[in-house]
Amino acid sequence: MGGHHLPQPQQQHHFGYFQVQVEGGHGFNYGGQAVPSPPVSSLKRRRRLTTEESEFLLRQFGINERPTAQEREGFAKHLKLDRRTIQVWFQNRRAKLKRDERAEDMGKIHGQDEEDEQNSVVRNIASPCPVSATTYNQRVTQRLRSYATSTPPQSSQPSRSPAFTEAAGSRKRVKAKNTNMLYYTASILLGTLGLSYAAVPLYRMFCSATGMGGAPMVGETKFAPERLVPRDNHRRVKVRFNSDTSTSLQWSFVPQQRQISVLPGETALAFYTAKNNSKDDVIGIATYNVTPSKVAPHFNKIQCFCFEEQKLMAGEQVDMPIFFFLDPEFAEDPDMADVDTVVLSYTFFKARGMPFEKQPGLSDQQSPK
C-alpha cells in the first residue's frame, strides 16, 4: 500500500495518513481503517461534505470552527485546494452547526434536558458509527410534528400580549381621569349657582353682624337691658331720616319726622308713611343704610320693616315704625368724637315677580333733608 504522504495531524495520533485505493476509488487509511467518501476529493468536486467527513478533517488537522486566514491558507496548501474552496467549506460547516443548534433548541421545548442533548452530540461525533445528520433531523421533525398536533392546555382566560394589556390599562386611566374632571366641573358649576342665589342674604347677614357697608349691627346681645341705659353725661346726637323709591314703584314714601336727638344708650321710635298710588296691589321691599358708615357698628335696630315684603292694596296708606338706639360704646369710641349727625336712609323697591310698570315722567319720591 503506497501513496502520497500528507502532513501529520495535530492530534495525539502519530501514525500515517495515506491516500489509498479503496474499492476502485480514492480513500484514506486512518489507523489501518479505510474511510469511504474521501473528503479531499469531495472538496475538489465542490460537493458538500457529510458530518463524518467534516469531523474527520477537523480532527486530523486540529482546526477550530473559526480558523484564521493563515490557518485556512495552510490547510488549502496541504490539501492542494484553492482558498475559495476551503472558505466555502467552512461557511457551510458553520451554517450546519447553526442549524443543529436551532434544532437542538427546538428539542428543548419538549422538556429534553440540555446536558443530555450536548452529550448526545458529543457521542455522535466520537462514535465509530455516529448518527447521521439526516437521521437527527428526522427525529427533530417528528418531535415538532407531535408538538404541533398535541392539544394545548385550555386557559381560563385568553392570553393577551403585554402591549394589548398596557393599551387597555391606558384607556381605563384616561376614562377615569375624564370622569373625575367632569365631576369637578359639575361641582364648580353647582357651587357657583348656589353662591349666586345665596350671595344677597349672606351679604346682608355679614353686614348686619360686622356693620360693614353702613349696615346697622343686629343681635340679641346688643339688646341686653344693661346696654339700654342712656349716657346722660354725653352730648346728644342728631338722627336724620331720608326716604327714596325706585322709578318702577308708584308709591309715596316719606318720613313723618325730619330728625330727632338721642343720647348713646337711649331708645327712640320713628315712623315712615308709605302709600300705594297705583290701581293695582303692589308688593314692595325696603333696604336701609347709615351714614357715615363708621357709625353702623353702634347703630342698633330693635324693630324695623326693612328686608320684609310689604304689600299695599291699591290706594292704601300705612305707617311703618323703626325702633332703634345708639350703643353706649358710641360715647367711648374715639372715632365717634367728630360725629354729631347720623343719617338713616330707606329705599323701597318693587319685589321680584311683580309686573314692571314704569310711568313716564315719574321720578323718585324723596323727602326733604
* pLDDT confidence bin for 159, thresholds 50/70/90: low
The predicted model gives 202-231 an average pLDDT of: 62
In the structure, what pLDDT confidence band is assigned to residue 83 with cuts at 50, 70 and 90? low
Distance CA 305, CA 337 (A): 30
Cell of 291: 351714614
Share in percent of the chain as helix, strand, coil (round to 5):
40, 20, 35
Span 247-266, pLDDT tens digits:
889 999 999 999 999 999 89
pLDDT bin (cut points 50, 70, 90) of residue 221 is low
The C-alpha R_g of the chain, in whole angstroms, comes to: 58
- The SS3 of residue 289 is strand
**86 pLDDT band (50/70/90 cuts)?**
low
Nearest CA to 305 out of 293, 281, 288 is that of: 288
For the ranges 20-29, 40-49, 74-83, 95-104, the maximum mean pLDDT occurs at 95-104
- DSSP assignments along 117-156, one per residue: HHHHHHHHHHSSSPPPHHHHHHHHHHHHHHHHHSPPPPPS
Mean of per-residue pLDDT scores for the chain:
70
pLDDT of 81 above 50: yes
Per residue in 5-58, pLDDT (tens digit) is 444 444 333 323 333 333 333 344 444 444 444 555 555 555 555 666 666 666
Report the distance separating Cα 85 and Cα 81, nearest Å. 7
Q: Given pLDDT bands bounded at 50, 70 and 90, which one contains residue 234?
A: confident
Strand order in the sheet with 25-30: 17-22, 25-30, 33-35
pLDDT number for residue 237: 93
> What proportion of the chain, given as a percentage, has pLDDT over 90?
20
Fold category of 220-350 in CATH: Ctag/Cox11 (Pfam 04442) (2.60.370)
User: Treating both helix axes as pointing N-terminal to C-terminal, what angle do 114-126 and 83-108 enclose, rounded to 10 degrees?
Assistant: 140
Question: How many C-alpha atoms does 248 have within 13 Å on its Cβ side?
Answer: 14
Instruction: Identify the pLDDT of residue 61.
Output: 58
pLDDT confidence of residue 339 = 92
- Strand bridging mode 251-255 / 341-350: unpaired
CB 31 within 8 A of CB 40: no
- pLDDT value of residue 271: 95
All residues at 6 or more sequence positions from 305 whose CB lies less than 8 Å from its CB, including other chains: 272, 286, 320, 321, 322
- pLDDT, greater one: 57 or 271: 271
In terms of pLDDT, which residue wins out, 115 or 192? 192
Whether residue 10 contacts residue 71, with contact meaning beta carbons closer than 8 Å, is answered with no
3 state SS of 244? strand
What's the pLDDT score for residue 125? 44
> Cell numbers at residue 350, please?
318693587
What is the pTM for the complete model shown? 0.41
Domain map (residue ranges) of the chain = 17-149, 220-350
Residue 162 pLDDT > 80 = no
Look at residue 274 in the predicted model and tell me its pLDDT: 94
For the stretch 299-324, pLDDT in tens is 988 888 887 889 999 999 999 999 99
